[in-house]
Amino acid sequence: MSNTKQQNKGISRRKFLVRGGLGTLGVLAVGTYVLRNPLRRSILEMTETIPPSYIGSGTKPNLWFELTKENKVIFHSPKVEMGQGSFTSFAQMIADEMDVAINQIEVIGAATKTGVIDALSTGGSLSVGGLWKPLRELSATMREMLKIEAAKKLDVNPSTLTTKNGIVSGGGKSMTYAEIAEGVMEWIVPDTPNLKPMKDYKFIGKPIRRIDLNAKVFGDPIFGLDAEMPNMLHATIIRSNTVGAKFKSASTNKAENMPGVVKIVQIDDWVGVVAKSYPQALAAKFEIDVEWDISKKWTEEEIRGLLQVGKGDEMITQKQGNALDPNDDSTVSIAFTSPIGAHAQIEPNGALADYNDGNISIILSTQVPGKTQEYVAKALGVDKEKVNVVPTYLGGGFGRRLNTNHAIQAVQLSKEVGKPVKYIFTRKEEFQNDLFRPPTHHVMRGKLNSEGFLDSLEHHYASGDVATGSILFPNAVNSILGTDIGAMRGGNIMYDKIPNHRAVQWHTTLPFATSWWRSLGLLANTFAIESFVDEMAIKSGKNPVEFRLASISNEGNQKRLYDIIKLAAEKGNYNDKPSNGIAKGFAASTDANSPSAHVVEVSIENSQIKVHKVVCAFDCGVTVNPDQVKAQCEGSIIMGMSGAMFEKMTLENGQLSPTIYGPYDMALMKHAPKEIDIHFIQGVDIPLPVGEPPMGPIGAAVANAVRRLTGKRLTDLPLKLS
């Protein structure tokens, strides 16, 4: 390591303020509005293959690490923890480069006032991969800063010093990191050190136990709903149950005089009740009569009429060779659909907010602390620096916590009553006012060559908003790209050796809010594509695995997909002939440069589809914590089964339903496979996205098994035999 370009940095006591320049700063450069279609397509294809590094926000110094008197390191994470285990992976990365033990590290979500703000979000399965290099570099830099100061205090040559478990030793003497930091006011920040080789890591690549396990087992108050402030009040909000309804008036006289009610507030299209307790707020809510202006009562049939391939805004997202003639007798065409889906996370949304003379504090479960800070500041007319958002652990995210308008409402209520206010969604409010997974419509077209392999394959698909108009991707960005990059996840054809292939997206804005849902468009798109590919394999009389491999290059990055398909087929002992009432189904996908493939074993019991076993092969590069990656694969598969086999929201008489668990059908413990077998290939030397890619193939794999078992091609999600 070279120390020839050292700088003095004034850092107060033990709080290490490190500028983002020491890490990796990613920049998204968008050209002029009139990007031509080929360039658009190349950008869109990059979004499916290149995971971005961590993208920081702002230029002011931010708090990354704190070193306590107990010689513990606190890492202020720009990414939040929502069950994916990223905090544990971060601790492993820090431990290896900073030379501290895992139990010496605490990871917390960074507050926006002092911490590092991620300019994007926690989502897209990008947490560990995005911080892979920056966090290790920052940890190594802090280690070297401590060694420089230790050399002064121990009066030894820096080159003789070693570090282990938060202790610097050399010349027969030693000091803890905390002892070294004591009294230091001016820190020398060296050039970024070289990172250790993978073979020297003690924690990275090992199945370390989750660092948040004890807190969850013992019920520590770590979630947004657990948050408290002195003298806080409680609130609930009345919204319309009908899609598109506008507020007209409210009769609040009776509610205003009920026990515990502090104030009833009407802002924009909602009415809020603030009371001394949550039950008191709910009781008053049910005594308020609100009149709504309902111009139309939408039905599901009308939505399906809107959402059709051939309607809305068209964008060719992938184009190779010639287009198929749908009227050609040799062209095979099959349509597929998926329904509206809810997030249905366990912890309902909510926020605890305190408005105090223009200074705002908010504690909540959110995937976007930085964007929440921006939106609250704009809505309340204050400087962004006056808004401090403190993210907590999330009781489920899945994309739902990317929208935090309720934080604005909690602040507005706090401003009205002059005290902290905790606002919580009811379960009905959660279901009816979700930002739903949009329904989709797909038309697959294909044609075989004289040898019985695919000569042409096309995916035409229609979807509502996923990224478009969201907190992360304003409409202007999607106008430049010409498509919804969330809806297109998994929508392009991954079979590069098919001479003629293309993908065409049709975008329609729906009358109800739709947005991010775990894996975005991947589940529905892969269901359509891989179901159709399997059907074409049946038509050709070929083994579906060999049929797929014939259309994939066994070189370059495509070799990773090729190898994953072969591994899944091998480990799952795949064959296409049912035996003893059980059939095997196969499907594959590649998402965010992480290819995966599944072999499932399925039977029919009492006219219901039963999944007995799932074998998953997955290439996500470096597995920082193999046990955690395995858990993410298992969770992704089971949630994918739930979305593909059970979940469905309906729209009748203008209202979305169901509004509670139970009627909203989801996969239960009894539906989980008895065995989920995960196999990894490390095709690249960096961590790649994990939390969503394995969800892609599951719906198609199950449908393909049912086709082998019954002869019936299921084309609609959720998968039902009748």
Reported as a single tens digit per residue, the pLDDT across 311-344 is 999 999 999 999 999 999 999 999 999 999 999 9
The DSSP-derived string for 4-44 is: TT-EEEE--TTEEEE-GGGS---------TT--HHHHHHHH
Q: Which of 217, 240, 262 is where one domain is finished?
A: 217
- Out of 177-191, 488-502, 524-538, least confident range: 177-191
Task: With cut-offs at 50, 70 and 90, classify the pLDDT of residue 476.
Answer: low
Q: Which of 217, 251, 270 is where one domain is finished?
A: 217
Alpha-carbon Rg for the chain, nearest whole angstrom, is: 27
Sorted by sequence, the CB contacts under 8 Å of residue 644 that are 6+ apart come out as: 523, 527, 698, 699, 702, 703, 717, 718, 719
- Quick one: pLDDT at residue 22? 29
Asked if residue 96 lies in contact with residue 196, where contact means CB atoms within 8 angstroms, the answer is yes
Is 116 a member of any domain?
yes
Query: Looking at the structure, do residues 192 and 285 belong to the same domain, yes or no?
Result: no
> Has residue 272 got a pLDDT over 70?
yes
Query: Looking at the structure, do residues 620 and 698 belong to the same domain, yes or no?
Result: yes
Query: Looking at the structure, do residues 686 and 556 belong to the same domain, yes or no?
Result: yes
pLDDT over 70, % of the chain:
90
> Has residue 11 got a pLDDT over 60?
no
Q: Which of 440, 527, 507 is nearest to 467 (CA)?
A: 507
pLDDT over 90, % of the chain:
82
Torsion angle in degrees (nearest 10) through CA of 680, 685, 691, 697: -50
What is the residue range of 706's domain? Answer: 300-341+435-710
**Structure tokens, 335:** 């349509």
Query: Looking at the structure, do residues 44 and 163 belong to the same domain, yes or no?
Result: yes
Query: Looking at the structure, do residues 529 and 384 belong to the same domain, yes or no?
Result: no
> Has residue 438 got a pLDDT over 70?
yes
Query: Looking at the structure, do residues 499 and 375 belong to the same domain, yes or no?
Result: no
Asked if residue 549 lies in contact with residue 463, where contact means CB atoms within 8 angstroms, the answer is no
| Residue 419, helix vs strand vs coil | coil
> Has residue 10 got a pLDDT over 80?
no
- Quick one: pLDDT at residue 255? 98
- Quick one: pLDDT at residue 97? 98
- Quick one: pLDDT at residue 482? 74
Is 627 a member of any domain?
yes
Asked if residue 219 lies in contact with residue 274, where contact means CB atoms within 8 angstroms, the answer is no
Sorted by sequence, the CB contacts under 8 Å of residue 14 that are 6+ apart come out as: 66, 67, 68, 178, 181
Q: Is the pTM of this model over 0.85?
A: yes
Is 169 a member of any domain?
yes
Is 717 a member of any domain?
no
State the CATH number of the domain containing residue 39. 3.30.365.10
Query: Looking at the structure, do residues 201 and 322 belong to the same domain, yes or no?
Result: no
- Quick one: pLDDT at residue 4? 34
Query: Looking at the structure, do residues 228 and 121 belong to the same domain, yes or no?
Result: no
Q: For 457-471, how does the pLDDT look when each residue is reduced to its tens digit (9 = 90+)?
A: 999 999 999 988 777
pLDDT average, residue stretch 67-77 = 91
Q: Residue 4 burial by CB count (10 A; 0-12/13-18/19+): exposed, middle or buried? A: exposed
Residues in the chain: 722
pLDDT average, residue stretch 165-194 = 90
Query: Looking at the structure, do residues 325 and 353 belong to the same domain, yes or no?
Result: no
> Has residue 55 got a pLDDT over 60?
no
Asked if residue 34 lies in contact with residue 87, where contact means CB atoms within 8 angstroms, the answer is no
Q: Which residue has the tokens 């968008």?
A: 30
Query: Looking at the structure, do residues 264 and 284 belong to the same domain, yes or no?
Result: yes
- Quick one: pLDDT at residue 478? 65
> Has residue 41 got a pLDDT over 70?
no
| Residue 78, helix vs strand vs coil | coil
Is 715 a member of any domain?
no
- Quick one: pLDDT at residue 62? 64
Is 336 a member of any domain?
yes
The DSSP-derived string for 605-665 is: ETTEEEEEEEEEEE--B--SSHHHHHHHHHHHHHHHHHHHHT--BEEETTEEE--SBTTB-
Q: Residue 70 gets which letter from DSSP?
A: T
Q: Residue 582 gets which letter from DSSP?
A: B
Q: What share of the chain is helix, strand, coil (3-state, %, to 5)?
A: 30, 25, 45
- Quick one: pLDDT at residue 65? 86
Is 590 a member of any domain?
yes
The DSSP-derived string for 328-376 is: STT-EEEEEEE-BB----SSPPEEEEEEETTEEEEEE--S-HHHHHHHH
Q: Cis peptide before 158, with omega less than 30 degrees from 0?
A: no
Query: Looking at the structure, do residues 250 and 131 belong to the same domain, yes or no?
Result: no
- Quick one: pLDDT at residue 454? 98
Q: Which of 372, 389, 424 is where one domain is finished?
A: 424
Query: Looking at the structure, do residues 496 and 638 belong to the same domain, yes or no?
Result: yes
> Has residue 528 got a pLDDT over 90?
yes
Total structural domains within the chain: 3
